[in-house]
A and B are shown apart, each in its own frame.
Chain A
Amino acid sequence: MAQNKAAPPKTSFFAALMRNQIFIPIAALLLLTIFNLIADPGFFKITLSENSNGDPVLNGYLITVIDYGSELAILALGMTLVTAASGGQDISVGAAIAISGSVMLRVLCGSDARAETMQAPIIVAFLVSAIVAMLFGAFNGTLVAFFKIQPMVATLILFTAGRSIAAWINHNELPIVKEVSFSYFGNYFPGIPIPTPFFIAVICFIVTWALLKFTTLGLYVQSVGINEKTSRLNGLNPEMIKLMTYVFLGLCVAVAGFIKVSRLSTINYSVIAKDIEMDAILAVALGGNALSGGKFNMGSSILGAYVIQYLTTTLYKFKVNADALPAYKAVVVILLVIMSAPVVREKFAQITKKLRAGKAQTSAAKAASN
């Protein structure tokens, strides 16, 4: 008995990692890395060159991953909380990005879609778009929390209408921001060789981390997601907490929308952030979080988001057609679902147990012979 109890710590690090949900995205990351190493190690080359403004910038596939994965990672933050608290997903984030991006350009360009200079400071435009995005988040949240509508159904409304609203905000015109300083946020700040979206994403991670660290949000969200009745009896207000997660997602949407419109300095209402809601949900799932709500791991979701971009970039590199990408993602989803199924996990646990038992026997035999 005593020996048995003493044994675990030896294998604990790997075993603990295996049991931790972050294992899933890490495993996916490793698989992709191994594939790329074998197929073409050039994937990992990073070079320093000068861009058209004469400023130094880093180039390479890995830089592309952290650059283009930013919006997704930021959305994954909010989507994780929404999923955990309400046991459902917001499918309107793509449409909401169109709206917040449209609002932003409306403020920047004023009434003239071809304005030569920005009509308002970028920060003001961002704040206005953030408020609008959070209001739409509150709209979704209200439907889910107070009217008890299933999240997917509730957000279907905005999913359907969002892009039309976005077009209406700018009277169907496609405004273009001509000042180059606006494009810094989706590209590079002069003199800084790392893409700005990555910095924005990191700031979002830090803010979210601080929110989870210095408030009880994490505990509340998980409690509400697991057992609403108990949460209420422990003094929580489940409706407000759900609403809060949707408003938070709204803020994430505004940031992601900001990056998106800054990348091209313009917007296309029908295709901006197209299908990004599916990727954001996939990021949450790939992070090993239950889509039915409850416990969550934020780091795992973020990693999940970058793994998806990693996969996308890898597929682009091997010239897989863009319209075939969803098929590859579907394969990932299938693998994921199978891997997280209780039956498979149990089998896996049995196998590792047997392996360990075998090891224990041999070591016991050694000890005996000594």
Chain B
Amino acid sequence: MRERSLLEMRGIYKSFPGVKALQNVDFTLCEGEIHALMGENGAGKSTLIKVLTGVHVKDEGEIFLKGHDKAVQIRSPKDAQKLGISTVYQEITLCPNLSVAENIFIGRGEGNMVNWRAMNKKADELLESLGIAVKGSQQLASCSIAVQQMVAIARAVDMDCSVLILDEPTSSLDESEVAKLFVLMRKLKERGVGIIFVTHFLDQVYEVCDKITVLRDGRLVGEYEIENLPRVELVSKMLGKELDDMASIKSDTDGSAVDMSSAPVYEGKGLCSTEGISPFDFNIRKGEINGFTGLLGSGRSECVRTIFGADKVTGGTVKMNGKEVKITKPIDAMKNGIAYLPEDRKRDGIIGDLSVKDNIKLALQVKTGFFKPFSNAKATEFANEYIKLLDIKTASVNTPIKSLSGGNQQKVILARWLLTHPKYLILDEPTRGIDVGTKVDIQKLMLKLASEGMCVTFISSETDEMLRTCSRLLVMRDRKLVGELTGDQLTQKTIMDTIAGGEKDGTE
């Protein structure tokens, strides 16, 4: 073992039916180091983490840990925990029906007796020291996703781990929460904890990390010191090719292509739902890409859910192409040519056990009708067409969607909606938790679809993605539509000011 190294993984192999997830991967983590693990979708990051934490058992290879003479065997998450390896996963893996304190201390086997008061007190102290504004006695499900994520980190931190793995911890946090997390990470680093940081946010990597290990297609590309690897190079190493200049996307999206004279494709007035957003007006024209922006919980998702009828619609009128229509539930919206890719892919997007083929055909099938099922050949044809078009990586059309990586699952959902040939496509956080390459693909696709006359509403927590693609932004604050930005107003600063509520720059 190298000096100061906490963890060394050597020659790791792991395969699943039809997929070789890891082939001869090495990984080294030193004391007091924040080490970024980077790679595209399906590069093997998640698998490597799961091997390390005992969720999957490796096929071959050795793992060495500081303080152990021989290679250690990790066969279960319990083993990993005993060895001081803790994880916070991309998707929340806590129990939503238990309290925050219970979630922090559950399954840690400190005797069978539970002293609730002492436990809650201990949890409160821990949460306070980490600056998380939640009480130990609160039920986890009542907290926002961001807070749930922080609780998961708090749990890991409290387990005196020497290796802390953060798998996409920031994808559901807003900026101030991310800043708090970074403070915490640096604190842990000083204590000598080694942190493995998996993320898609390049900015964040360059802000906190010391080293970067890049994986691609289940193989190791290399390990780099952060100062020796400029961003462009990192991206090209992840993709295995030179990245198209992102700036080139912007050129043709100044909104001039949008035909302002025709009636809006979609026009809603006074829309509101049971989810408690104030009534809002909204319209979109042929070929336009617009977006909702705002902080987490500002109501941007609730707006598009109201447009699609995903929540119970309680008021407002809707016109499609100037004609009044009624949209109160998803099927109404679908019949009117609206498609909606939801924010929470696992909960609202995929049908986990069904095949890629069935997942792709689902929406169109529902639209087509109960008595007109597609033949197997037809469904396979649809699936193959979109697997090719969107470059979906799957073993076959019959593979269950749940065994695909996050980005590929997202592409399948996108394929499902594109198959319905919508007039109006709503994408809520389509780029969350997926790799850079797919993010660019999806943005390019949006622009292409818009140029062919489709309207698109796009929501993303990464403002620059929206600036790059949208010609109009609707700003939300506290469940209220507070501004609409176009043309020259589309700058980071104006958006921030509007979100923050500055009177002078806003268009209220």
- The residues of A with any CB-CB pair to B shorter than 8 Å are 213-217, 219-220, 222-223, 226-227, 229-237, 294-295
Contact = CB atoms under 8 A, between A and B. Distances in A.
Q: Which of B308, B310, B366, B369 has the most A CB atoms < 10 Å from its CB?
A: B366
A247 to B, nearest CB: 15
Q: Which of B330, B350, B369 has the most A CB atoms < 10 Å from its CB?
A: B330
B330 A234 contact: yes
Contacts, number: 75
Contacts of B371: 214-216
B370 A216 contact: yes
A234 B352 contact: no
B373 A219 contact: yes
Contacts of A236: 331, 366
Interface of B: 308, 310, 329-331, 334, 340, 342, 347-354, 358, 361-363, 365-367, 369-373, 416
Contact of A226 (B329, B351, B366, B373): B351
B363 A235 contact: yes
- Top 9 nearest A-B pairs by Cβ distance? A235-B331, A235-B366, A216-B373, A235-B334, A226-B351, A235-B330, A234-B363, A226-B353, A227-B351
A236 B348 CA distance: 13
Contacts of A213: 373
A85 to B, nearest CB: 13
Nearest to B18: A8
Contacts of B310: 232-233
B71 to A, nearest CB: 21
Nearest to A227: B351
B367 A227 contact: no
Nearest to A216: B373
Contacts of B362: 219, 223, 234
Interface of A is mostly: helix
Nearest to A218: B373
A227 B354 CA distance: 10
Q: Which of A230, A231, A232, A236 has the most B CB atoms < 10 Å from its CB?
A: A230
B349 A230 contact: yes
Nearest to B375: A213
Given A216-B365, A235-B330, A235-B334, A230 B373 contact: no
Contacts of B350: 227, 230
B340 A233 contact: yes
A295 B353 contact: yes
A52 to B, nearest CB: 47
Contacts of B334: 234-235
B370 A226 contact: no
A232 B330 contact: yes
Contacts of A214: 371, 373
Q: Which of A234, A235, A236, A295 has the most B CB atoms < 10 Å from its CB?
A: A234
A294 B358 CA distance: 13
Nearest to A231: B351
Given A226-B354, A233-B330, A235-B363, 6 more contacts: A222-B351, A222-B358, A223-B354, A226-B352, A229-B347, A234-B334
Contacts of A226: 351-354
A295 B365 CA distance: 18
Contacts of B373: 213-216, 219
A291 B369 CA distance: 28
16 contacts: A215-B370, A217-B370, A219-B373, A222-B353, A227-B347, A229-B348, A230-B347, A230-B349, A231-B351, A232-B330, A233-B342, A234-B362, A234-B416, A235-B366, A235-B367, A237-B331
A254 to B, nearest CB: 23
